[in-house]
Each structure stands twice: as structure tokens, then as C-alpha cells.
Amino acid sequence: MVSILSFIIVILIISILCFLSGRRMAENRAAKNPNAENRTNGNRTAQSINHFLMRHPVMVKGLLLFYIAFAGCFTFPIRSQPFPLDFTKAYLLICSYGIIGWGFAGLYGKAKERAVYPLTLLMTILGMVCRYVLEYGEASNVYNFTMLNILSYIILIPAFTVGAYHYIVKYLISAR
């Protein structure tokens, strides 16, 4: 159930952020080179969605921060005694936090690693606190919230997200 819900939210975030990022880059290219072939004239629905999202950037940022907390809650821990790390869990972690890095690249652009890391760290910790409260009193908290699991998650996840953000900004966005 959690995997399906995570997948739906990931697809929603991908769609919104790809739309924003691609539209913003296309508008920047069109502004630099005002030839007729460089203009982006999408259909009316896409233009109205773009207009709404450009007028409400806080909503997009809030959605991204909510998803970081959501992923921090439902993908924690990386591994535990009854649930070792398998391909599905690794794939979900890499995709989720890679897409979060992509979202930050779309929102912030280049050279904002110092803003991406603390936001990811803070929202990941918030997600872990939500997970603890959600499972309070259950036996799963005993084997999920060990010092090794907490530290590895708090260190690896924000570092991977910043690495994904840096890679996307340096190699994917600047290559266009």
C-alpha cells in the first residue's frame, strides 16, 4: 500500500516539476533567441497550469518539502533486522530521492547545494519523527529506530539528494 501511494506521489511530483523546469528553460531560451521556432506556444490548458504554478511558487516548494517528509517517513529505515535491503527498497530510495534532487534543480537552479542539504536534512528528520509517532508503542520501533539506522539514514539520504541535485544541474540541465 505504501509503495503504491509513494509511486503515485512520485509520478505527481515528477509531472509538476518536469513541467515547471522544462517550461522555464524553454521560456529562457525563447527570451534569448526570439525566433519564431523557439517560441513555446502550448495548448490553453498547459498555459493556464503554467500560469497558476508560476503565480504560486510556494505551493510547488511546499509540495516538494511535503514529499521529502513523506519519503522520510515511509522509506525509513534503509534496512532493519526483519526487512533487509532488497532491490525494490533500493530502487524506491534511489528514485524517490533522485526525483527530489531533480525537483530542487528545477526550483533553485545552479549552485544551491547549501540550501538543498539543510532542507533535505530537516524534512527527512521531520519524516522520521512522524514515523516514530505513527508507530509509537509498537515493537517495530525497537528494531527500526536503532542508532545505526537513524545515523545512516540522516547521513546518506541528504548526501545522496545533494549529489543527485548536483549531477542533474551540472550534467543534465546545463547540457541542454
What DSSP state is assigned to residue 41? -
- Binned at pLDDT 50, 70 and 90, residue 37 comes out as very low
Structural domain tally of the chain? 1
Report which listed range, 23-32, 48-57, 137-146, is most confident: 137-146
Closest CA to 13 of 61, 48, 50: 61
| Residue 30 vs residue 85, higher pLDDT | 85
Answer whether residue 27 shows pLDDT above 70: no
Cα–Cα distance, 164 to 105 (Å, whole number) = 9
Q: What angle do CA 96, 97, 100 make, to 5 degrees?
A: 95
Percent of the chain with pLDDT over 90: 32
Q: What angle do CA 154, 155, 160 make, to 5 degrees?
A: 105
pLDDT for position 25: 57
pLDDT for position 36: 46
- Structural domain that includes position 58: 2-173
Minimum mean pLDDT range among 48-57, 59-68, 115-124: 48-57
